[in-house]
Amino acid sequence: MTAKPTSGGDCSSGFYALLSDEVEARPGSFFHVLFQRLFGVGSLPIARDRTLPKSLRAYAASSANTSSPSVTTVMLVNVGATVSLNLRGTRAAALRSEWVLTARSLASTTLELNGQPLSLTKIGALPPLNPRSVRNGGPVTVPSNSIIFVQAEKR
């Protein structure tokens, strides 16, 4: 099977195939799996703080695969410098879950989840895509060129 680029030949120029010619998972495939697992149907409104850089994008939805309707997933996409922000509208005493996706460069073929490189297992299965638990109420640090999923309970 040969994956064809939609425009260009690497990640930075629009290669959107989820598998490489060697049937290896591309960075986008791990993002896709997390998005499908975490984001529910329909989006929720986001109140944007005017002091945040325009390079930071924020999206919210009810969380998929949870038994509680009060759990929200926020996806933060940062294409600029590292930024810290507070999420309003979540319960301050609860823990939140964070999945931080980063890469050494935008053209990298290796994606990291919470600082650990992601790759398929020896038998071709997905690795555990576990979040890190963070005490809610503190700021969310969004590294440069990263995507973060944050799950927390609404107030």
Number of domains in the chain: 1
Residue 74's nearest CA partner among 106, 115, 35, 129 is 35
Longest dimension (CA), the chain: 50
> Percentage of the chain surpassing pLDDT 90?
28
pLDDT interval class at 5 (50, 70, 90) = very low
- pLDDT score of 155: 60
- Considering the domain boundaries, does residue 3 fall inside one? no
- pLDDT score of 103: 86
SS3 5: coil
- Considering the domain boundaries, does residue 121 fall inside one? yes
Residue 52 has pLDDT above 80, yes or no: yes
Residue 8 has pLDDT above 50, yes or no: no
- Considering the domain boundaries, does residue 4 fall inside one? no
- Considering the domain boundaries, does residue 87 fall inside one? yes
Token couple for 29: 């495939």
Enclosing domain of residue 59: 11-153
Residues 6+ apart with CB under 8 A from 121: 127
pTM above 0.85, yes or no: no
- Considering the domain boundaries, does residue 62 fall inside one? yes
Token couple for 26: 């591309």
The secondary structure of residue 19, as a DSSP letter, is: B
Q: How far apart are CA 114 and CA 24, in angstroms?
A: 21
Q: How far apart are CA 4 and CA 95, in angstroms?
A: 42
- Considering the domain boundaries, does residue 134 fall inside one? yes
- pLDDT score of 67: 64
Residue 12 has pLDDT above 50, yes or no: no
- pLDDT score of 4: 36
99-131 tens-digit pLDDT? 999 988 777 878 899 999 998 888 888 899 999
- Considering the domain boundaries, does residue 144 fall inside one? yes
Token couple for 7: 């425009």
CATH number for 81: 2.60.40.1180
- Considering the domain boundaries, does residue 5 fall inside one? no
User: What is the average per-residue pLDDT within 31-59?
Assistant: 85
